Structure formats: structure tokens, C-alpha cells
Structure 1
């Protein structure tokens, strides 16, 4: 019976998936843990589920010999040391699709609010002023929406925007097939000068740090709007603040920040606070009941399939092998060093233990090789231990 530990108030739909599969040993924690508390909570865990605040680095992973799989119940996986996890034979799964609609709706809603100057109008009415004027307020129809990063979320934003009559352009470092009437642009600088609203949907990492820096923001169309619901490091916040204060940009909506509060009791430290033409939200792009339920089910299903059958389809750091029905009397998963002769050595070992290979699938990725082998014969503890002792073996288990 696998032991599964879930952190950060993951939706109950995840537990439902595990229990339905017969995995009753599920431990939940409402928040994130750190240091010794995290290590203690994970002792004996075979699978762990986290969101964005729980960090599994090299030091933590080194203390978890029983850990077989990690589920990130979100899109991002930068809170996990992916390379260390792979080298320890631990696939990492995430939810790249389940919250796309929630983020897309938030972005489009914010674009409309900012085009109409609703944040500042709202604040003025609360202060007792009846500022009934159309100055600086515009319809979304006919405006150009520029999408930086035309992936799962960016493309859906574009489809929704077109239904409001917006013209959609996008910029991506990879060639992407446009949906609807969207048009790709090759130059980021020219792209920024064409858009009335720019929305960012790029991954985190060193390649996107300050992608929208002072120079890029200066290239944006005067009076345009910037929306960031991707990663906090993508925008140079002081440069954005200056552009808003000077009037070069008419508004902004920011859902993610370079440094975010660790709890609801900690205040956000940002120069954008107090600006009436800025919408600030606490990293809630994907925080709807629908998306959290979908995420819980999606990632739990991936973890369940790996534990039950060894399939790694959808893993972000690991060779991917799709599900197939077991063909023999036993199934052995073998994670090994990707070196010449590895599969020959594995097959010879199985033969020495009297196992007949009925079906075998192999995929490699970087330094890692992953084989799912169905055999006729008895895969005893002695057999598994024998396979584990071979120098090429990283991890070996029955499923």
C-alpha cells in the first residue's frame, strides 16, 4: 500500500482518485512545510503532492529514499529540483492544462476593466467622488491584444479575446500554429509597439528574467496596458512603476511577483501598491473551484497510473512511456543509467533469475533510461534485490 502525502490544501478530488484506486494511506497538510518539519512529514512517503510553496530541493530529496513520484498540483515545477529527482529515479508530474480557462478568463476580465479605467473609477466612488466621464475609457472591440507566449493559456486567451472583437497577435520563441485569426510576429520590439494590451504567458527561468525590462516597456505603445499572470520574475517591476507613473502605460494587472508573501498574514512588498491604475491579485490566476478540482484529478491520475502500472506519460523530467496493459505474470520497472549495454545487462539478469520477457518498453532521456518489462515468472523480493544491486540500476520496483 503506497503512502501518499499531500500539502497546501490540495483539492479533495485528488484523494478521491487515490481512494478509488485502493490507495487509502493518504495524509494531508493544509499548508506548506519547510526544513525538518517537511522532512519529518515525508518520511516513508512513496508519492508527494505539492503546489507552489513547498520546495523539494536536492537536500530534501536526498533524505527521502522511499519517494517514487512527485506531483505538482499546478503548472509550474520550478519548486522541485527536477534533475536531482530524475537522477534518483523520481518522475515529476504537473497539470499543464487544468487551469488554463481560469487564467484566461482572469486576463481578459482585467483587460476590460483596465480599458474602461474601472479600478480608479471604483476607488474614486468609494472615496465619495462621482467621476462620470468617458475620458480614457475604451471598448475592447477593435483593440489589439498582444500575447507573449502562445502556449496552452496564451492561445485560449486569444480565442476568448476574439469573441470580444479584439485583434490578436502573438510572439513565441517557437513556431506555433495560430488559432482563430491570430497572427504571429517575429520581432518582440515591433510586436510590443502594435498592441493595446500585452499579456504575458511564458515560463519562469533564466531565459525570461526581466523579459519585459525598461527597454521593452519603453517599446510598448503609449497608453497601452500590461498584464502578467505568468511568473513574477518576467517583469522589471521598478521599470513598470516608472512607466505607469509617467503615463507611458495607462494601466497594469499583476498576479505574480518576484518575491511573494509566504502567508496571508504577510503583506506584499511592491512599489505598485497604492497605484489606482494597477490591479494587484495574490497569485490567483488558476484559483477557481473548477480549476482546483480539475488539477486535483489530473495530477492524482498521473501519480496513480505511475504507481499502478509504471506509465510516465506527462512527466516533465523523465522518459515518457504511455500506458499499456500488463502482458505477463509480473511487471518490473527499471530505472537505470543511460549507458551502452544497459538493456542487454537487464535482460541477462532477468534470464538468470528465470524470468521470460513477454513485453518490454524502453525510453531514454539524458542520463536516464527507463524500462517497463512484463515477464512470466515469479518476481520475488530476491529477484528485485538482485536487479537493484547491478551497477547500472538507479531504482527497481514491482508494480
Structure 2
């Protein structure tokens, strides 16, 4: 079987796939039109986010048996197009859940303790203890929207801080345990002081977290988004921050992450929100550690190995 890799991957991927007798063509610089022209030669395709895996790209993929997404999100993949062709979709959320959970903890502790602000002030000769007084995470009630691999990993870390952790997931039930309580959205709205988003980007979730949604909370002070930027309407968050309805936010993702080519309204919102000291940003790196880069390969390897075994047994 032949596999085409069209994005940059950790160097371990080729020997891992060779181990299960796969012939690998590693082409991280390949352009979309070239992918379309040669995809008919391959049984497997491994991607990150270079190009949409859609009807146009799959038109010549007569042999394709699987698409491996090197990461958690599959919003760049037309899932129905794969199902129609009986092509298996494999992703690797287990590979970067630990990195994301640790990053989210780091962001919330930085935000609560004004570590980024205090660091810059001290570097500029300002020694302001009172102005940088922190907020304790211990005892806070945290609401998670989405409880997949990422939400669960984050909840496990939060449990050591003595937090009350509530979680709602529209696609799963029965996951309450010693550190998280499964609840409905109404309970999240009523109790959560901190909201953390762990939902995928799809048609149902696009723009879900908007002004109307956030106004339903009774006690919300902080928001964290390490999922996908498009699920949160940035201009609505900005208004709530400016009005003092929300005290702060930690954002690893944005609605439009191509910040050098924002439209005028997007640019205005971006410029205004980045001036707020109570908002912390990172550039979509929550799940992007040195360790997760390699872990993702190992997860894909094991899932592809299992898939091939099942194909051979047919």
C-alpha cells in the first residue's frame, strides 16, 4: 500500500509507516493541483491543514482507503465525501490532549495572576505589588462546553486545584466521575464562573458562543478558548469585556487567524481586543508541544495498523 503525506510531519512518521509495510511518499511542499493529479496512485493520505479534503480533491482518489489527520480537528475534511466513497477518516486527538490541557492551565494561571503584565512592568522598572494582586483558581466553578479528549484532559488537571468542574457535551452522556459532573447547559449558565470551550468547528458550532449565549450566564467572569476560533464571535466577546460583564479571557485561537489580511471590521475588533490587558493570547499552539508532535505520529501509526489489519481480514 502507498501513502502520500502532504504536510510537514515529525521525522518519525516514515519509519513507523514503513514498519507496517507502507510505501511512503513524503511531499510537504506539494501544491493542491499536484495532489489532485497524483492522488489516484495512493491507498492512504496523511494531512495536517494544507488544503481542504473535499469532493474536488477526492475526485480521482479511486484507491484511497483512509485519510489520516495529524491532529484533533477535522474541520478541513468533508466527512460526508469520505463516507460516500467508504474512505476511513483517522485523527489523533489523543496525541495532543496533554499538551493542550497543560497549556490551558498555564493560560488561566497567567491570566489570574497577571504574570504576563507583571513581567513586563518589572522589566520596565515598575514594582507594583497591589496592582498585580492575583485571583486564586482554587474553589472556582468551571464550565466545560465539550467533553472529548481535550475537555477530559483539562478537567483532570483542574481537579487538583480543588475546582468544581461542570461539563456539557451535546454528543455524549454518562461521563460523570470523581472530578467532573455532567450537567445540562442551564446548570452551566447558572453556576460557571469560568467557561472553557472544547468543541469542534462545524456548522452547528460556528458562532455558537455569541453575545446572546454569553448573556445567559449568571456569574461568568472568565472565558478560555483552546478549541476553534470560529466557534466564538470575537466582537461579542469584546463588547462584554469593555462593558465589564466579563473580567478576562484567554484565547489560543481566533475567528480569523490570518491576521495580516483581516477585513476592515475584523481588523478593528482585533486591534481593540489586543489592547485589553485582561485578555491573553497565544497563536494556536495549545496542543503544539515538542512531545505532541511525535505523539501524534504514534497514534496515527497504531490506528492505521489496526485499519490495515481489518482490511486484510476482509
TM-score (norm 2): 0.87
- The 1:83–1:135 alpha-carbon spacing in structure 2 relative to 1, beyond 3 Å, is same
Alignment of 1:85 onto 2:82: yes
Q: Which runs of 5+ in 2 are unaligned?
A: none
Question: What is the deviation of 1:300?
Answer: 2.6
Alignment of 1:289 onto 2:286: no
TM-score (norm 1): 0.70
Alpha-carbon RMSD: 2.5
Task: Map residues 61-210 of structure 1 onto 2, 5 A cutoff.
Answer: 61-133=58-130, 137-173=134-170, 174-188=172-186, 190-210=187-207
Q: Residue 276 of structure 1 corresponds to which residue in structure 2?
A: 277
Higher strand residue share: 1
The alignment of Structure 1 onto Structure 2 pairs a total of residues equal to: 307
Distance 2:68 2:50 in 1: 13
More RCO (CA 8 Å, sep 6+): 2
Higher helix residue share: 2
- The 1:222–1:194 alpha-carbon spacing in structure 2 relative to 1, beyond 3 Å, is closer
Q: Residue 19 of structure 1 corresponds to which residue in structure 2?
A: 18
Distance 1:223 1:131 in 2: 27
Alignment of 1:28 onto 2:26: yes
Question: What is the deviation of 1:181?
Answer: 3.6
Question: Does structure 2 retain, via aligned residues, the 8 Å contact 1:149–1:172?
Answer: yes
Distance 2:77 2:182 in 1: 33
Question: What is the deviation of 1:287?
Answer: 0.6
Question: What is the deviation of 1:136?
Answer: 5.7
What secondary structure is seen at the aligned counterpart in 2 of 1:215? helix
CA-to-aligned-CA distance 1:52-97 (integer Å, 9 cap, x gap) = 3331110110022232221111112221222222222321111132
- The 1:254–1:124 alpha-carbon spacing in structure 2 relative to 1, beyond 3 Å, is same
Distance 2:52 2:97 in 1: 23
Question: Does structure 1 retain, via aligned residues, the 8 Å contact 2:225–2:250?
Answer: yes
Task: Map residues 195-274 of structure 1 onto 2, 5 A cutoff.
Answer: 195-221=192-218, 224-261=221-258, 270-271=270-271, 272-274=273-275
Q: Which runs of 5+ in 1 are unaligned?
A: 312-325, 327-371, 373-399
Structure of greater Rg: 1
What secondary structure is seen at the aligned counterpart in 2 of 1:240? helix
Question: What is the deviation of 1:122?
Answer: 3.0
Question: Does structure 1 retain, via aligned residues, the 8 Å contact 2:139–2:162?
Answer: yes
Question: What is the deviation of 1:216?
Answer: 2.2
Distance 2:205 2:53 in 1: 22
